[in-house]
Amino acid sequence: MATPAASSAPLIEKHTIGYVPPEDRHGKVRDLFTLWFGGNIAPLPIVTGALGVQLFHLNLVWGIVAILVGHLVGGVLMALHSAQGPQMGIPQMIQSRAQFGSLGALLVVLIAGVMYIGFFASNIVLAGKSLHGVVDSVPVPVGIVIGALGSGIIGIIGYRFIHVLNRIGTWVLGIGIVVGFGYIFTHIQTDDFLTRGSFNLSGWLATVSLAALWQIAFAPYVSDYSRYLPADVKVSSTFWTTYLGSALGSSLAFIFGAVAVLATPVGMDTMDAVKLATGSIGPLMLVLFLLSVISHNALNLYGAVLSLITLVQTFAYRWIPTAKSRAVISIIVLLACCFAAVGASKDFIGHFVDMVLVLLVVLVPWTAINLIDFYAIQKGQYDIQSIFQVDGGIYGRYNPQALLAYAIGIAVQIPFMNTPLYVGPVSAHINGADLSWLVGLLVTSPLYFWLANRDTSYRRRMMGGKLASSL
């Protein structure tokens, strides 16, 4: 479904965190499939997917099963967030003020911003390595800067350009990865391709968690890319196009990484294994992945910048951020990430995985609270004007019920954690499998629902008459 605004929408996005009015809505719901399918066929998910056989020592069959289970489960949560975009018309993080209050939401907004800066920095390292793999004369640090500049330009142009590139990328990368699979399966270089590794419960659970957390990591910004769609787009349509695109694209990339490392000698770096396993088409595959990581990484920069704008606007509430503001903050983030990535590129990916595992412990309870509030408590009905008021309007500065459920949701995960900072006793007992995300979801969701329904404050009583369409 499209609106007349679709053909006249400016290429350079003018909105930042503000409400997108009906006359500026454009695009088609199928764009969500191409965005999340094309965006997930990239080096970082390939490297992450290879961990199932490299680090957790699963064989190919059990590795594939774990990858599919994780993405199919985690993708449900991710797609439910995406379906909020057309109804709300605002970015995901600023919407959190409706659950946590204008000041209460600051912590999760900050965490989301830091995580996406980490994603951006990690991806430009992979871009640098990919470019060096294609052209040996280009040093990795130079490749990092080139990759960052490419992503920066896309991110600054904004929403519409990101969607256009991923529509193209879906066809190019989809065909490319199918051809890559075909080449690898007909040129296997190892005798233990199907027998290397075996089933082990802890490794299987850990791989499921990695795949699920990959999907959940998109939750804080997935609806940023559906908020321009017309408000009358069906929730089910938004859900399924996002879900199928993300689950399918991510699963293909994860499995490609596992297949590539099993088809090559033990101990190779994943991207080196991809280059070797794809033989004569290896340089072409690296070029495609280089273009993919540059395009996809624009999403991380875009999400990080919106989170930072949300943080600043909380205190400078009279400030109306513009496209120029978004461009300036994008450049600042880009320069900082280039500096950090060039200085730590040798082991940056390892540090990145460690960081994400830590940050997701505090993001999982947020995703539970956000979804329960949107679908079960408020049923999609919010007062947009209150969300942008300095005192939180009818939502207040703090929502004690949400903050209490959030704190408990973090605490119950501790025994099940496996992060560089701490390994919980339950995780240690099952050989390091991290199930904290699952426990966090299962505890936080009913707890917040119970607490929210006991809330008889003015904010809750007023919600029956406040609609998102009040603007």
Tell which residue, 276, 267, 259, has the closest CA to residue 193: 259
Q: Which residues touch 132 (CB under 8 Å, ≥6 apart)?
A: 138, 139, 140, 143
Q: What is the pLDDT along the chain (471 residues), one digit of tens a residue?
A: 444 454 455 667 677 778 888 888 878 898 899 989 988 888 888 988 999 999 888 999 999 999 999 999 999 999 999 999 898 988 888 888 899 998 999 888 888 888 888 888 888 887 887 788 778 888 888 888 888 898 888 888 877 778 788 888 888 888 989 999 999 999 888 888 988 989 988 889 889 988 998 999 888 888 888 888 898 899 999 999 999 999 999 999 999 999 999 999 888 888 888 888 998 888 888 888 888 888 888 888 888 888 888 888 888 777 777 778 888 888 998 888 888 777 765 665 566 666 666 777 888 999 999 999 999 998 888 988 888 888 888 888 889 999 999 999 999 999 988 776 788 888 888 777 778 889 999 999 999 999 988 765 544 444 444 444 444
How is 166-212 classified by DSSP, letter by letter?
A: HHHHHHHHHHHHHHHHHHHHHS---S-TTTSS---HHHHHHHHHHHH
Q: Find the farthest-apart pair of alpha carbons in the chain and give their distance in angstroms, rounded.
A: 68
What is the predicted pLDDT for the residue at 284? 85
Q: May I ask the CATH architecture of the domain 28-470? A: Orthogonal Bundle (1.10)
Beta bridge partners of 418: 423
End-to-end CA distance of the chain: 22
**CA 122 to centroid of chain Cα atoms:** 13
Alpha-carbon gap, residue 116 to 355, rounded angstroms: 11
Name every residue whose Cβ is closer than 8 Å to that of residue 152 and which is 6 or more positions away in sequence.
Answer: 298, 301, 330, 331, 334
Helix, strand, or coil here: 418?
A: strand
Residues with Cβ < 8 Å from 119, sequence gap 6 or more?
44, 217, 297, 300, 304, 352, 356
Q: Give residues with Cβ within 8 angstroms of 196, minimum separation 6.
A: 53, 59, 60, 190, 262, 266
Structure tokens at 228: 């321009």
pLDDT of res. 8: 55
* Whole-model pTM over 0.95: no
Structure-token match 């340089």, residue found: 283
- Contact present, 253 and 177 (Cβ < 8 Å): yes
What confidence score (pLDDT) does residue 345 get?
Answer: 53
